Structure 1
Amino acid sequence: MQKNSHSPSLVRHALQTLPALVAALFAGHAGASGFQLLEQNASGIGNAFAGSAAVAEDASTVFFNPAGMAYLTPNKKHLAFGLDLIKPQAKFSDRGSVAAYQQVLGNGNGGDAGDLAYVPHAYFVIPLSQQISFGLGMGAPFGLKTEYDPDWNGRFHGIKSDVKTINLNPSLSFKLNDQIAIGVGANWQRLKGEFSSAVNYAALIGYLHGQPGLGGLGLNGLIPTAGYGFSNISGDDSAWGYNLGVLWQATPATRLGLSYRSEMKYHVTGTAGFTPNANLATALGLIATNISQSTADAIAAGLPTRGGAVYMDIKLPDTWILSAQHRLDDRWELLGDLSWTGWSKIQSLDFYYANDNSLLSGTPERWRDTLRVALGTNYKLDGQWTLRGGLAFDEAPVPDSTRTPRLPDSDRTWLSFGAQYRMDADSNLDIGYSHLFVKKSSIYDDGGNPANSGVLIGGYKNSVDILGVQYSKQF
């Protein structure tokens, strides 16, 4: 075995575990592209969230446009809460993947990586005066869960990604006059994640065998039976941001809304842990026996499998939404949305050890900003029932060249239906359903070092189903 035949750098390439972790922070098949969750209410699902920054029909306007609180029924408190169920489907088809060094391809394509997610949301609005209202919102703007079979072909690229967020959003609206209102809100957001992948111990021992002065220690005899193990990494952090909005009642029948949500800056800290491996322990023992203790300690301390405290700094994207609502007559209403998300902030993802700030891994992502276009309509069937419909097209931020199994994202098209039932003069029940047709995509992922992780080659067939229920009341 030649020196560096499996890895030019022990720290950066001996394992690809942490690039997988970083990708996992943005994993899943969320309702919107990337890892964003638009599902902050159920009343908007039936319209594919068209008109989201303009409709202001219940307390959930706290999230989409805080200025909308000024247009809720005056002199009354408003409450809205609900639950959205999101079921993604992510199925990989292998097209010639290459096994990692001293490994064989796994047991199939990993099954359906999508997993059912529950996204709760709740909002409360109270008027403080004729011009000022206060609102408080709670939701989950990012995250979802994906999980493959533990022995699948891409196990070295990723197995499980479980990301959860919670967002608390106190807000104020100011009604400047009968036509214009503005709003402002603060956002406290908490992110928590747990991630796993396989670890190629054979490649790691192979790398050690190829280093100067270690080739004659017999480490190569441990390689054929070294096999692989697993890593498990968890991390979390909290961040603060803000949101702004303006709402203009241009005519009695037409309303325009513009809202902005700021980026969120995270310093994610966590712990990396690895399953023990007897062959690696034996290899380190041979090294310690035959070279100086200080050199042996330095080698052991430099192994990615040493685990311990890790961190990364990352920005989650900001978003602009421009919305319109137009009432055609007493029954028909048209809605529209154009939104922009600043995914290009994610160009590379770097993870470091906390004890010495050494770079553990860097992964190029090269994400791009995206646009989302949505059109919707409401039809008032009678005094109790309103029917909803919507279509949307949502760009994916992930280029073909950097797609990973943690985030096999692609452009998606929404088809949405829903209904609102007016229970009485002050209470509504909303239900909405959306099916997302996700464009088929291809993947070629070598994990940065094919010897360690193999090359995952294939395609993805994805889709998403969303069902939401919401109760809203004014009192």
Structure 2
Amino acid sequence: MHTRLAPRLIPALIALSFSGSAAAAGFQLIEQNASGIGNAYAGSAAVAENASTIFYNPAGMTQLQAREFSVGLSLVRPSFNFSNKGSVVPALGPVSLSGDGGDGGSWAALPNAYMSWALNKDVYLGVGLGAPFGLMTEYDKNWLGAAHSIKFDIKTYNINPSIAWRVNDKVSLGAGINYMLMDVEYIKRAGAATVAPIAKLQADDTGWGWNIGALFTLSESTKLGLSYRSKVKQKLDGDLTVVGVTQVDAQAKLELPDTAIVSLTHKLNDKWELLGDVSWTGWSSIPKVVITNALGNQTLDTKFDDSWRVALGANYALNPTTKLKFGVAYDQTPVPDAEHRLVSLPDNDRLWLSLGAQWKPSKATTVDLGASYLFVKDTKINNNGGASGLIRGDYDSDVWILGGQFSMAF
């Protein structure tokens, strides 16, 4: 079913419209709250400190008060600076492609909102709003790689109703369903054309998924969290417009990856708490993306590999109302090599360094602030796009993440 108007409805629900710039590897957005930024999202499936546990592990709702609300905003600023090292660009009629394209990254705002409430002492319901995947890269319109990509923009909007059940004092279980809308815009120079027009793809679709989780209280000081989010199939349908020439229907299919998380939290004493996290993402569900249209199909040959993320964190109770947060993480890219790296996604392994603070002005309210700097490994690209030319060079990249979260029990 074609759903061109649908992606406009979810931003209305959360009163914000946003694009995602991936901070996690690939185009995954791990920033589904801002309270986890300070710990580099270590312990994400076991912390359950506010209603955003609905995304990371719905079983965590049983650790909350009877009714809780949490809303947050993360600001993400990736930087992608290309340096040419022998690229070969196509001849595009009167247009001469040159230059390194400027910084392909820009600021993006990622809001989230969650609510949970107890039906009784053992059963909780909740709903979450967020954007699990997103990407935005944009270069100068006549740069060296313009026949590969000028702009690539992926937006997702996800509604996640959930339920949790406290089996006993040691075990809680949770589950949810996900209704995800996806909207894609892809702009490039049309290759091998005498007038070198701009080609613009706009397509969208909706898909369904599910998630489950379990939370185990191993002792008074130790919790273990397990969670899994399913794949979501998207059959994007839209238009391919060659500006000033023609417009045709276009389609693309992809299967957004599943994820699994194992988390552990342990209180050493009244002051210190340790957090750990290992997560896996099944990026091999996207070996390629084929854009079908009447003018000729185009294939983005990604050959993504599954990837791992490991995070360690600590919390220090400065006083009864203030907690300091620390975190470090290693995040593995799904991109297999320089030959399959895309200018629209110049991704590579990254190291997270994170700091944050939590303040509880009252028993019912909590404010979290966090900041992360991501060191992105030196990145080489050697992508031969056939008629679109060969892009060979290096990317110098990094990412800043800033965020705040407000949580309230009522």
CA distance in 1, matches of 2:131, 2:288: 25
Displacement of 1:29 in angstroms is 5.0
CA distance in 1, matches of 2:406, 2:349: 31
CA distance in 2, matches of 1:315, 1:152: 31
Could you tell me whether the CA contact under 8 Å between 1:108 and 1:153 is conserved in 2?
yes
Partner of 2:54: 62
CA distance in 2, matches of 1:121, 1:363: 31
Q: Are 1:118 and 2:58 counterparts?
A: no
The C-alpha deviation readout for 1:23-61, integer Å capped at 9, x for no partner, is: xxxx98512100000001111000000000001010000
CA distance in 1, matches of 2:85, 2:195: 24
Could you tell me whether the CA contact under 8 Å between 1:170 and 1:185 is conserved in 2?
yes
Partner of 2:393: 458
Q: Are 1:347 and 2:287 counterparts?
A: yes
Q: Which has the larger radius of gyration?
A: 1
Could you tell me whether the CA contact under 8 Å between 1:28 and 1:406 is conserved in 2?
no
SS in 2 for 1:399: coil
1:102 and 1:232, CA in 2 relative to 1: closer, same or farther beyond 3 A? Answer: closer
Partner of 2:178: 187
- Residues paired across the two proteins, number: 390
The C-alpha deviation readout for 1:184-217, integer Å capped at 9, x for no partner, is: 00101111121210113xx34xxxxxxxxxxxxx
Q: Are 1:237 and 2:172 counterparts?
A: no
SS in 1 for 2:319: coil
Partner of 2:359: 421
Q: TM-score, normalised by structure 1?
A: 0.80
Partner of 1:321: 261
1:310 and 1:404, CA in 2 relative to 1: closer, same or farther beyond 3 A? Answer: same
Letter matched to residue 235 of structure 1:
A
Displacement of 1:241 in angstroms is 0.4
Q: Are 1:34 and 2:26 counterparts?
A: yes
The C-alpha deviation readout for 1:377-404, integer Å capped at 9, x for no partner, is: 0000001110000000000001112001
SS in 1 for 2:190: strand
Displacement of 1:105 in angstroms is 5.6
CA distance in 1, matches of 2:357, 2:112: 19
Letter matched to residue 329 of structure 2:
A
1:375 and 1:136, CA in 2 relative to 1: closer, same or farther beyond 3 A? Answer: same
Which runs of no fewer than 5 residues in structure 1 stay unpaired? 1-26, 205-225, 278-305
Sequence identity percentage: 45
1:355-366 alignment runs, 5 A limit = 360-366=297-303
1:198-237 alignment runs, 5 A limit = 198-200=189-191, 203-204=192-193, 226-237=194-205
Displacement of 1:144 in angstroms is 2.6
SS in 1 for 2:54: helix
CA distance in 1, matches of 2:296, 2:28: 28
Partner of 2:13: none
CA distance in 2, matches of 1:446, 1:387: 48
CA distance in 2, matches of 1:362, 1:37: 24
1:197 and 1:102, CA in 2 relative to 1: closer, same or farther beyond 3 A? Answer: closer
Partner of 1:24: none
CA distance in 2, matches of 1:384, 1:130: 27
The C-alpha deviation readout for 1:110-152, integer Å capped at 9, x for no partner, is: 0001011100000000000111000110011111321100010
Could you tell me whether the CA contact under 8 Å between 1:168 and 1:187 is conserved in 2?
yes
Letter matched to residue 228 of structure 1:
A
CA distance in 2, matches of 1:91, 1:372: 24
Could you tell me whether the CA contact under 8 Å between 1:432 and 1:469 is conserved in 2?
yes
Partner of 1:260: 228
Partner of 2:348: 410
SS in 2 for 1:68: helix
Q: Are 1:381 and 2:381 counterparts?
A: no
Partner of 2:330: 393
Displacement of 1:233 in angstroms is 1.1
Q: 2:373 aligns with which of 435, 438, 442?
A: 435
Could you tell me whether the CA contact under 8 Å between 2:20 and 2:29 is conserved in 1?
no
Q: TM-score, normalised by structure 2?
A: 0.92
Could you tell me whether the CA contact under 8 Å between 1:338 and 1:372 is conserved in 2?
yes
Displacement of 1:359 in angstroms is 6.5
Partner of 1:367: 304
Letter matched to residue 85 of structure 2:
R
Partner of 1:212: none
CA distance in 1, matches of 2:71, 2:182: 22
Letter matched to residue 464 of structure 1:
V
Partner of 1:218: none
Q: 1:178 aligns with which of 155, 163, 169?
A: 169
Partner of 1:444: 382
CA distance in 2, matches of 1:156, 1:387: 47
Displacement over 3 Å in runs of 4+: 101-105
The C-alpha deviation readout for 1:275-315, integer Å capped at 9, x for no partner, is: 236xxxxxxxxxxxxxxxxxxxxxxxxxxxx5411111110
Partner of 2:242: 274
Could you tell me whether the CA contact under 8 Å between 1:191 and 1:236 is conserved in 2?
yes
Structure that is richer in strand per residue: 2
Could you tell me whether the CA contact under 8 Å between 1:48 and 1:414 is conserved in 2?
yes
CA distance in 2, matches of 1:170, 1:258: 18
CA distance in 1, matches of 2:318, 2:302: 48
Could you tell me whether the CA contact under 8 Å between 2:89 and 2:145 is conserved in 1?
no
CA distance in 2, matches of 1:255, 1:398: 33
